Amino acid sequence: MIRKPVALASAALLAFGTVQAQTTELETPEDRLSYTIGMDIGQSLAGQNMELDIDLVMEGLRDAYAGGETLLTQEEALAERQKFIEQRQQRLEQERVEEATVNREEGEAFLAQNAQNDGVMVTDSGLQYRVIEEGEGERPSATDRVTVHYKGTLINGVEFDSSYARGEPATFGLNQVIPGWTEGLQLMREGGKYEFFIPSDLAYGEQGRPGPIGPNATLIFEVELIEIAGSDASQQ
């Protein structure tokens, strides 16, 4: 089961010199380069989360480098590699489906409980919000650009984004963000600060986002509406 990074590293090994099975002293440039390439291969393998027999990995490396007979033909090796990729994809998809189910169930339970808390309001769409501080300015429309400070967390408290942490507010069009933000910000007045509890279907849904926002994740945002920056159409 060979992955592309390993094959590339092995090709580099062929180009640069003799494999040394047990080098205890790195005396020459070739020694150092050989060991460096071995480190690269090892680190690449370690990051793949594969169950491997390192002795067989080394045997395959030596056989391929020697250019003689190998235990698998190129066609057989290609088939093994493809089988591994397909199995891994199936496993990752199954894990994603399981994560999506857990996230949806936990999110629904959280929102059901949260809706009972003092000060929490629920809109027809299912968006929940709590007024931290009411503003006195205008309310934005769905086509306005707004400037806000915000912090986003998962229901387990993990913070995934924060303009406060970056040290500067964000400006964007309300028609360019997740539905929960588009709806929620229109409830606010300039100068106000709200907390939004956003169901997954008003956030990133089954796709989630790279990083901590998994599929069907319910999100919590603390948002401060600093300014309505004007109509998004006027910025185009």
Rounded to 5 degrees, φ, ψ at 190 are: -55, 135
Of the candidates 196, 221, 226, 228, the residue annotated as catalytic is 221
- Can 40 be counted among the known catalytic residues? no
Whether 65 is catalytic? no
| Annotated active-site residue in 40, 155, 178, 201 | 178
Backbone angles phi, psi at 49, to 5 degrees: 55, 50
Q: Which of 16, 84, 160, 172 is catalytic?
A: 160
**Known catalytic residue at 194:** no
Task: Using CA atoms of 102, 83, 80, 51 in order, give the dihedral in degrees to the nearest 10.
Answer: 10
Is residue 161 among the annotated active site residues? yes
Which region, left, alpha or beta, applies to residue 126 given φ > 0 means left and ψ of -120 to 50 means alpha?
A: left
Indicate which residue of 150, 194, 196, 197 is catalytic. 150
Q: Please identify which of the residues 31, 40, 63, 161 carries the catalytic annotation.
A: 161
Which residue out of 129, 198, 204, 228 is catalytically annotated?
A: 204
Q: Catalytic annotation on 54? A: no
Residue 197 annotated to the active site: no
Task: Kindly list the catalytic residues.
Answer: 150, 160-161, 178, 204, 221
